[in-house]
Amino acid sequence: MLKISKNAKRISEQKKLIQDSYDTVKLLGKIGQKITAEISLEQIIQTSFSEISKIITIGSLNLGIVDKEKHIINFYRPKNKGEYEFSIARECKSDKDFPSIRCFDNQEIIYIENYPEIYKNTKYDDKSVGSELFIPLGLEGNKLGVMSVTNLKISGFDSQHQDILLNISVYVSIALINAESFDKIEAQKKEIVFTNTQLSQQKEELTQTLELVSEQKDEISQTLYTINQQKEELIQTLETVSEQKDELTKNNEEITRSINYASRIQNAILPSNKYMSNILKEYFILYYPRDIVSGDFYKASLIGNKFFHYRRFYFSIIGRRKQYLDIGKKTGLTV
């Protein structure tokens, strides 16, 4: 009977352990849903601290987020409800002796079971901290940072607490990745909105430009139409001028032929040099037609001891001997 009683007690304890494990898993699932639903660092810190405090007595919670460009880990802690604040920064290269950096580099849990003893008489001596647990944050080789949890008691975290916090760190890592993705999406959305705004402005400017080009095109078309009309009128004018030029050339040729013919007739009726030499031994004649045919003419005739000259304007012939000169005009008037 004693043996049966012991077996029953052991089975009852195992059943209770299984039930506790189931309840813990179920609770962790709910906690994980809440933490992974958050999309900002502020909300992740607040929710993590609130949910962990419900199942484990903790003094503080710090989330260290790695800055891969600057090679530092910035630690943040909850401040007031809905707020958080920066607590400290660790250099990934120069602060390798610190447990937070060792935890991050080696991706392993570091448990400071007796905090006062280790940091006694140092600047990190803190009477409110009995023990501290550092858990790496990251998934599939992607190092995200470190989660630090303190307890008021020395050896305040047993193996079950460590397992619970390790599971919660996975949810925190997922939440941080989601938050980072959300920030990238928001940044992309802002960039898309900005790009769309620029495209809209450019489209509006392009539309205005096209309208202006269309107006200028209409003006150019009207100008070209006017120029074509003027060109046609100019061609017609040039044709008319060309015809008039041909007609004038023809008339000029006819007039020139007539004038040349008149000049030959005029030269035929003028007394020759030989005839004038027989009449007068010494004489000169000043006769310069303006064009081809002169409006003046002269004529000499010998009648006895006298001879006659006819002129249009004042004209005289002077000889050594005194002789009578009659000067006439084309009208036949004798002076």
**Residue 7 located in a structural domain:** no
Confidence band, pLDDT 50/70/90 cuts, at residue 7:
low
Whole-structure pTM over 0.85, yes or no? no
Residues 308, 168 share a domain: no
Residues 154 and 286 in one domain: no
**Of 192, 224, 247, which one is at a domain's C-terminal end?**
192
Measured CA to CA, the distance from residue 58 to residue 44 in angstroms comes to 17
What pLDDT is stored for residue 317 in this prediction?
A: 38
| Amino acid 324: pLDDT | 38
For residue 154, count other CB atoms closer than 10 A to its CB.
14
Residues 62 and 150 in one domain: yes
- Which segment of 22-36, 37-51, 66-80, 145-159 scores lowest on mean pLDDT? 22-36
In percent, the amount of the chain with pLDDT more than 90 equals 42
pLDDT at residue 311, as a whole number: 43
Which amino acid type is present at position 7?
N
Domain endpoint, select from 157, 192, 227: 192
Distance CA 272, CA 278 (A): 10
176-192 residue pLDDT tens: 999 989 989 999 999 99
% the chain with pLDDT above 70: 80
The dihedral sign for the CA sequence 271, 274, 280, 283: positive
Q: Is the pLDDT of residue 83 over 60?
A: yes
The CATH number of residue 52's host domain is: 3.30.450.40
Residues 31, 168 contacting (CB under 8 angstroms): yes
Same domain, yes or no: 291 and 187: no
In this structure, the answer to whether residues 174 and 299 fall within a common structural domain is no
Domain total in the chain:
2
Do 188 and 282 lie in a common domain?
A: no
How confident is the model over 227-248, as pLDDT tens digits?
A: 999 999 999 999 999 999 899 8
pLDDT tier for residue 334 given thresholds of 50, 70 and 90: very low
Q: Please check whether residues 53 and 187 belong to one and the same domain.
A: yes
Lowest mean pLDDT among 9-23, 265-279, 300-314: 300-314
Provide the mean pLDDT of the chain: 82
Q: Average the pLDDT over 141-153 and give the result.
A: 93
> Is 316 a residue whose pLDDT tops 80?
no
Q: Which of 13-22, 142-151, 269-278 has the weakest average pLDDT?
A: 13-22
In the prediction, which pLDDT does 134 show? 96
Q: Which of 137, 157, 192 is the last residue of a domain?
A: 192
What is the band of 127 on the pLDDT scale with cuts at 50, 70, 90?
A: confident
Q: Would you say residue 18 has pLDDT above 70? A: no
What φ, ψ does residue 139 adopt, rounded to 5°? -140, 135
Residue 107 located in a structural domain:
yes
Q: Which helix (H) or strand (E) holds 133?
A: strand 131-139
Domain of 281 in residue numbering reads as: 270-335
Residue 198 included in any domain: no
- Asked whether residue 279 is domain-assigned, the answer is yes
In this structure, are 283 and 169 located in the same domain? no
**66 with 79: CB under 8 angstroms?**
no
